[in-house]
Amino acid sequence: MANSINTNPGAQVGLQNLNSINRRQDVTQNRVSTGLRVNSAVVDAASFSIAKNLSSDIGALAAVSQGLANAQGVTTIASAATNAVSDLLGDINANIIAAQNPGNTSQQQQILQQDFAAQIGQLNQIISSASFNGTNLLSAGSNNVGVISNIDGSTLTIRGNGQVGNAVATLATSDISTVSGAQAALGTLNAAAASVNTALGNIGADTRAIGFQDQFITRLSDAQETGLGAIQDADLARDSARLTAQRVQQQLSVSTLNIANSRPASIAPLFR
């Protein structure tokens, strides 16, 4: 093309090249700054949409994990309380056996009865204290408790063990101040111990189920995070190297543009 001061194709090409480099540099700089390869729908609409869905699922899994942690608290407290009840029933059993001795005086029987009443009070205290976040699995009339176990809305059931509270209430009606009363109380105690053993089995099984589900949710969340990272995380080492190269390209492009811009000035000496 002829020399002209009106049109400078070289400068136009240089400017286009510089703008292109600047746009690529902005993208790379954004990746380095945020650590994300895909941080908006403008960059990659499909990947951004998938990443958003995965992020939502990860948040939901965290909520499920929190619910399972709460359920573990409920069963852990219930298990500790049930074990304490079981141990105390062993002590009560010794009292009842002692009260069946025909050689006891009436005073001794009264002492045993008072001790028995105090132990029943301890049992009631243990059961009433076996509450976590307002949930008590051992009190009389306690119901099953549902806990969300996955983001699809499925649930696990923690069984209520109100038979423990009922058994203690029944045992509390016993009177071991006489030999015959102690003999009757022994049968009631054995029934209470059977109820407590059943509760221990129920709580143990439910605790294991919650633990297994929590482990699964944790692994699922980790897998989701790995997948999310593969979609949106930037390769910082590569992008850092790319950014350095783009800065060099930018400097060269600016120099080339300066040369192109100086070309029309070379015409001026022709008019001297």
What structural domains does the chain harbor? 48-232 (1.20.1330.10)
CA distance 168 to 192: 7
Q: List b or e across 35-47, with b for residues whose CB sees 16 or more CB atoms inside 10 angstroms.
A: ebbbbeeeebeee
Its pTM stands at: 0.76
Cα 90 to Cα 95, 187, 202, 244: the distances in Å are 9, 14, 20, 77
The mean pLDDT value for 70-96 works out to: 96
Cα 150 to Cα 30, 58, 139: the distances in Å are 36, 11, 28
**Closest to 235 (Cα-Cα) out of 5, 37, 29, 14:** 37
* Residue spans of alpha helices (H) in the chain: 9-34, 45-99, 106-129, 162-172, 179-232, 236-262
Q: Report whether 167 contacts 74 (CB < 8 A).
A: no
Q: What is the mean pLDDT of the chain?
A: 89
Q: How confident is the model at residue 257, as a pLDDT?
A: 79
pLDDT tens-digit readout, 225-262:
898 888 888 888 887 888 888 888 888 888 887 887 77
CA distance 256 to 205: 76
Q: Rg for the chain (alpha carbons), in Å?
A: 39
Percent of the chain with pLDDT over 90: 59
Give the distance from CA 109 to its chain's centroid. Answer: 54
CA distance 227 to 256: 43
3-class state of residue 155 by DSSP? strand
pLDDT confidence bin for 139, thresholds 50/70/90: very high
3-class state of residue 151 by DSSP? coil
CA distance 188 to 165: 13
Q: Give residue for tokens 């009339």.
A: 141
Q: How confident is the model at residue 259, as a pLDDT?
A: 80
Point out the least confidently predicted range of 46-50, 60-64, 185-189, 194-198: 46-50
